[in-house]
Amino acid sequence: MDILKISHVTKTFGAKKVLNDLSFSVPEHSVFGFIGQNGAGKTTTMKIVLGLLESDQGEIFVNGEKVAFGQNGTNKYIGYLPDVPEFYDFMTPKEYLTMCGQITGMCKDGIAEKTTELLRLVGLDAENKRIKGFSRGMKQRLGIAQALLNSPKLLICDEPTSALDPVGRKEVLDILSSVKEHTTVIFSTHILSDVERICDRIAFLHEGEIAVSGTLEEVKNIRNGESIELEFLAEQDAERFLELYAGGEKTGRAKLLFPKKTERDILGIMECLLQNQIPIVRLERLEPTLEDLFLEVIGK
């Protein structure tokens, strides 16, 4: 079942069409990467899903129920982490989650149990200091705990790792990956290494439309195969081989790249090297990368 379905959504701000007939769906218990450049419309899409922004046309369904602007009926299924979460800095993590539980009408015992569970999950169970003294990464982890407080069917995270250092990014990604057995995660990002690390499915948003979507493997295979990179001992060896074996391009002083090559091409390259007694330092098969595809999508 698809926990989120977006169908033919359009949104215009003045003369600028931010979303243009946008359609995609997110299956349950997956980690879905929503990829796009800054300003591509990712945050706009999420605000429409939350009923905080009105679309010009189209429909959105969360857990089979239609989203309506200005109403929060479908938000009972959603946990949300904005790109820059805000907190009451004078509170401790436990006090903050307790307050959030009270606001949402949870019972006292349920709040205490869930607060303990979530603070342990995000690695803040031993933190009793005020939120004011938290690092950006700690605040992001607390934000995830708050978003999971109501046991949502869908966890939406807007650029959750964009301003974090490598350690903070790893901590947040590990948490998002660990919760997919209990919820569905959709997070927007432009950091492609994060997507490759934890996502099951992805969609590229470009100029308000989904340019590419599918499983991680399906999207990578769009580029039709692996590339072959050769590194030679000397620059003249690379230039000589390029004359003997067509289809490559020079990527470094003594490096050649042969894009979209098959097993047969590899054998042909090795045979040419052997016949002409050209020494190499390295021959490597390079899998298609999201970065390559992303640059193709945005036309760079």
Q: pTM of this prediction?
A: 0.81
Q: Cβ atoms within 10 A of the Cβ of 25, count?
A: 16
Give me the pLDDT at residue 10, please.
96
Q: Cβ atoms within 10 A of the Cβ of 72, count?
A: 12
Give me the pLDDT at residue 225, please.
62
Q: What is the DSSP letter of 270?
A: H
Give me the pLDDT at residue 299, please.
67
**Averaged in consecutive runs of 10 residues, what is the pLDDT profile of the chain (300 residues)?**
94 93 94 90 94 95 94 92 90 95 90 94 91 92 94 94 88 92 92 90 91 86 76 94 91 88 84 94 84 72
